[in-house]
Structure 1
């Protein structure tokens, strides 16, 4: 079975359609995270609630 010619067309880069945008990373939707020492503390103070372990140990947030 032959493939149609339109499928095998090479795509080319057209610089007129692209624009460089300089922007910083948006940190509003980033998740909080725990460092290695914070994870150890979280495991130490974890309590089982409804079958899942929960901890009130501190978390770090990404800098904005």
Structure 2
């Protein structure tokens, strides 16, 4: 039963997060439909109007690191 509770709580957290970021996700999805691929800088530019905190840092090789 504890596993089911943890899964339900995680599901609710993710659902709330996706709902909160719905406009940003739609903006990103539309850009991907139009351009097919985006680099980290392009993603930052698309998400900038929706930003609430700092963006993750980018390491060499294009990997994003969430601090």
- State the TM-score bracket (shorter-chain normalisation): under 0.3
Under a length normalisation based on structure 2, what TM-score does the superposition of the two structures give? 0.25
Which structure exhibits the higher relative contact order, with contacts defined as CA atoms closer than 8 Å and separated by 6 or more residues? 1
Greater helix proportion: 2
| TM-score, structure 1 as length reference | 0.26
